[in-house]
Amino acid sequence: MSSGILSRLRACVLFLIVIGLPVSAPLLAADSGPQFPGFTAQQAEQGEEAYMAVCATCHGDVLQGLALIPALSGTYFAERWVGQPLADLADNLRRMPPGAEDSLSDSTYTALLAFLLRQNGISAGGGPLPEQLSALTGIALPPAQPGNLPRVTTSQLRYDTGGPLADSPLLAKFTPVTGAELLDPPAEDWLNWRRTLNAWGHSPLQQINRDNVKSLQLAWAWSLPEGANMMVPLVRNGILYSYSFGDVVQAFDAASGELLWGWQRQLEPGRIADSKKGLAISGNLLLVPTSDMHLVALDARNGRPVWDHKVALNGEDGHWFKSAPVIANGKAIIGLTGRQAVEGGNFILAIDLATGTEAWRFWTVARPGQPGGDTWNGLTLEQRTGGSVWIPGSFDPELNLVYFGPAPTYDTERLRKGPEDQLNNNDALYTNSTVALDADTGELIWFYQHAANDQLDHDWAYERQILELPVNGVMRKVVVTGGKLGIFDALDAATGEYLWSFDLDMQNVVAEIDPRTGTKTLFPSAVPALDAKLTQYSLPGICPDWLGARNMQATAFNPNTHILYIPLSDTCRDDSSGERWQKYPDPDAEGMFGIISAVDLNTRNVVWGVRQPGPQAAANLSTDGGLLFIGSVDRWFKALDQDSGQVLWQRRLDNAVNSYPVTFLASGRQYVAVATNSGGIHTRTMRESAGINLPAAGATLWVFSLGDNN
């Protein structure tokens, strides 16, 4: 990066401090002191020209803000400047452009101020805006005038209030998503996180198949806000909905990539954007979990907010939404993540879609005096942490159960038994468990703990797939899920009865699994001493490291063959030395950290496994066309033959493929979409493990289809 770019970036960040933070001057009444002088339309037009030439690089073409640079319009701007001295805003403008403060003419700075006023809903009129700062002393910035926000063109993104950018036949033809469709989605749509509420990650589409996938080519692409865009696009009636870093929701013509509407959450003061996995859809509503702990319902036809539910957190701000809601019986059900001990950890809550009000909540850390409350080694409620829900739940309508997987605790040392304290139970429920909740009431129907008192952060926090499989010759409905260790458990979906496990041999933590109960006995080397201080959630010589053999990269299940496709990473590390290695060193596999394993769930045998240099970063996606789509840290997006793992098509993209690919039909043509980005902590760490170079920035939504001759 050149020194000029660096200095400009530093200056842009300085402007975040200068103009993005609340000023210290007292709030002024709108009618106190001198009256607002107004501005002319000509001044605002001149200011627009100057803004595009000088300011848009940092603050965006429509004042939306870019990366860390604040928006200069909408609620973000209004909360900081409406009612504050206009002279202060004008003075801050004069500190621009970056590196050349006060270098523009007085008339240009005044024109820029007029442009900002116009773009924030204040009408021209009342005479020209004076050029001297002294003339603005004592004047408060007035609020926007109703109905006076500027019209947004089709090439721009409408923030805050939403609204269509153009008349679109697609928006007019949108039909509400029914409950029956959520349970059995139309083949052409992608309506849930893993397409179906049973979390399979499989599509019945086969227009793109083994024979023609070599002709797959770029149909369109869209640049996304910088950040960990771990999105799952949703598709309905040929409209693709994306949810990007920065809490930006956009609707596109799924065939052409034309932007139809856009909306961005302007966060509450003190909150910052974080990565999330996507949206949910039901009826006409898009359900948006925001970075400031609101669940907002947007009208899917135009992006306008319908209701806004703020999650009650008792004043705490240490929680995040990281997943999309699961829709069940007219409720949006979603879990929280957070490290703080907030009244006993995290919880799962249900929001009524008709009213936007909370219907129920279930605490994922058992509370004293409640079932499971005596499994925390005698810790008080305030000392209990964890139970984060990172992944969307799954739903079985016949049993009326939703399934979630709370993650481990964060303060493990307090859960180690001392010699004088052998009688206390320290399993730490409901961490590392599958919890089955009544979808209507949130009542705990059953739970199964896959790993008690996890000291090594080897979560069992990932997708719970609901499957029909033969067990001892009898077809049963089961829940299958696997943790970081590459061990998978199967449970009876109705009762939680343990059925079986398989181990992909990626770990040296679990020595034995009881075939009757699934209870896991650890190797002594994997049990930390009472006074051990764990570093980076690991012990020397442990496989896998804290990232796990598998992580948030979801598996895909083909219901036609009962094959489960599992993305894996073969990495172990001694955190005291930084040394990293593969569990089974092999000269032929040296540097091949990424693995795809295909497992027949009828027999629990590995059908095939293939290695590649880049660790897996994307979810797997299987189709009836015989294809398996995968994505890796080293920027490769590939289509494999489901029967063999052979690479049939590949394309190297602009950054890590750190998201959840989907496939859909639009205008009769099948498309495959995936997002790239610089990645979250898992991708960044896996990149270091494998020695992979990635761009420092860059995020794109890529959409592929077959060429016209296919």
pLDDT digits (tens, 9 = 90+) for 474-501: 999 999 999 999 999 999 999 999 999 9
**202-203, strands of its sheet edge to edge:** 202-203, 621-623, 627-631, 636-641, 647-652
Nearest by Cα to 364 from 384, 379, 378, 394 = 384
Q: pLDDT band at residue 341, thresholds of 50, 70 and 90?
A: low
**Residue 604 is encoded by which pair of tokens?**
């629990």
Is the pLDDT score of 19 beyond 50?
no
Report the pLDDT value the prediction gives residue 329, as an integer from 0 to 100: 97
Sign of CA dihedral 159, 163, 166, 170: positive
686 by DSSP, 3-state: which? helix
C-alpha–C-alpha distance, residues 313 and 363, integer Å: 13
Q: Within the chain, how many helices (H) and strands (E) appear?
A: 9, 39
Q: pLDDT band at residue 69, thresholds of 50, 70 and 90?
A: low
C-alpha–C-alpha distance, residues 604 and 584, integer Å: 21
* Tens-place pLDDT, residues 399-417: 999 999 999 988 788 888 6
* Tens-place pLDDT, residues 520-553: 999 988 888 777 776 554 567 888 888 899 999 9
Q: Which residue has the tokens 């609204």?
A: 163
Q: Which residue has the tokens 């919890």?
A: 435
Sign of CA dihedral 295, 300, 303, 304: negative
Report the pLDDT value the prediction gives residue 462, as an integer from 0 to 100: 97
More confident of the two residues 6 and 591 = 591
C-alpha–C-alpha distance, residues 207 and 625, integer Å: 7
C-alpha–C-alpha distance, residues 320 and 312, integer Å: 13
The string over 621-644, giving b where at least 16 C-beta atoms fall within 10 Å of a residue's C-beta and e elsewhere, is: bbbbbbbbbbbbbbbbbbbbebee
Q: Tell me the whole-structure pTM to 2 decimals.
A: 0.79
Instruction: Kindly state the DSSP code that residue 595 receives in the 8-state scheme.
Output: E
Mean pLDDT of 64-76: 59
User: What is the CATH code of the structural domain delimited by 3-136?
Assistant: 1.10.760.10
Instruction: Kindly state the DSSP code that residue 4 receives in the 8-state scheme.
Output: H
Q: pLDDT band at residue 77, thresholds of 50, 70 and 90?
A: confident
**Residue 36 is encoded by which pair of tokens?**
């607002």
**Residue 537 is encoded by which pair of tokens?**
């959630």
More confident of the two residues 210 and 77 = 210
Is the pLDDT score of 598 beyond 80?
yes
Whether 3-136 shares its CATH topology with 159-273+552-710 is answered no
Residue 295 has phi, psi (to 5 degrees) of -110, 115
* Tens-place pLDDT, residues 236-270: 999 999 999 889 999 999 999 999 999 988 888 77
**2.140.10.10, 2.30.40.10, 1.10.579.10, 2.60.120.10: CATH of 159-273+552-710:** 2.140.10.10
Annotated domain spans of the chain:
3-136, 159-273+552-710
Q: Which residue has the tokens 């098509």?
A: 649
Report the pLDDT value the prediction gives residue 155, as an integer from 0 to 100: 33
Is the pLDDT score of 385 beyond 70?
yes
Sign of CA dihedral 360, 365, 367, 373: positive
Count of CB atoms situated within 10 Å of the CB of 585: 8
Is the pLDDT score of 644 beyond 70?
yes
Give me the amino acid identity at 195.
Answer: R
Percent of the chain with pLDDT over 90: 55
Is the pLDDT score of 157 beyond 50?
no
